[in-house]
Each structure stands twice: as C-alpha cells, then as structure tokens.
Structure 1
Amino acid sequence: MPRTVRAKRATLLSLAANELTLSQLLPGDDFPLIIRPLGSHAGTNLDKVDDRAQLAGYLSRVDAADFYLSRFVDYRSADGWFRKY
C-alpha cells in the first residue's frame, strides 16, 4: 500500500507552484498522485493528478482545507482490466 499523507491546502498550493518538492511530502515518491479531500468517501472528489499543473487545476475546483495524498499505483492486470479478488 502506498504511503498516504495528510496535507493542508496551502502546502499543496506550494507544491503546485513548485515552491515545495514532492519528496518533502512523500519521500521517494513522484507523480502521478491520488488526491482526495479529508472526509470524502465513495470517490467524491478523488482524482489522479499527473503533474503540478493538474494539481493546481484540481485545487482550483475542489474547495477543501485538508487532503489525503498518495502515489498512484497502476494495479491493472496484463490485459488492462482492474479486478478485485
């Protein structure tokens, strides 16, 4: 399971503006990331962001103070399908 961190909006805005490195939040990790607001469930405002520009766009449309952030892991099988076992 990828490491997950809780981050304030201001911290993520600094990351999006390249004022903060991703390794300062998630050591050893890189884009793409999964982000969602604290307290959201069932995929509400859950998104994959591939770079700083997408992170800035996400933050401009999702109004929350705190978020969960983790590295995206592509769990597709070789045939391209996701499965739950």
Structure 2
Amino acid sequence: MKGSILQFLTFLSLVALPVSGTWKERVHPEIEFPDYILSRPKLSSCAKVPTEQQCRTFCKLPVECRSGHYCCTALCGNICMRLE
C-alpha cells in the first residue's frame, strides 16, 4: 500500500513538471528594451572632489548632462561635472 502511494506521488510530480514550464518560457521574448538600458556606459570617477552645489546635479547617463559637462561617479553619487 505504501509503495503504490509513493509511486503515484512520483508519477504526479513527473507529469506536472513539463506542464509548469521554465521561467524563460513564461517571460515574453518579444519585449524590447531600449538601447540605453542594455548598453549603459560605465561611469568613471570624477577628476576632482565636487562642491556641494555640484552634488545636487545627479545623473544616470552622460546624455542627461548639459553641453560641456559629463556624468561621473563621486562620493555623493553620479553627478554632472564640467570638462576641464
């Protein structure tokens, strides 16, 4: 009796395995991500210590900074600094 119950439970778990699928099959492959998410450039550290006012201009990408500035990593976060 115990052997048949164990065999039945094993059979059920093996049958349910292909039905549930994998995580990759559940995610929709047709979802397209913008290029800036996939190829995010690595930011270099700032050439000098930023001032308190410079620490208020946060950025995630170089394109977020205005002309003549670049996005770099400082102690206060990613900020826009003027090119020297």
TM-score, scaled to structure 1: 0.19
For the pair shown, the structure with the greater C-alpha radius of gyration is 2
- More helix per residue: 1 or 2? 2
TM-score, scaled to structure 2: 0.19
The one of the two structures with greater contact order (alpha-carbon pairs below 8 A, sep at least 6) is: 1
- More strand per residue: 1 or 2? 1
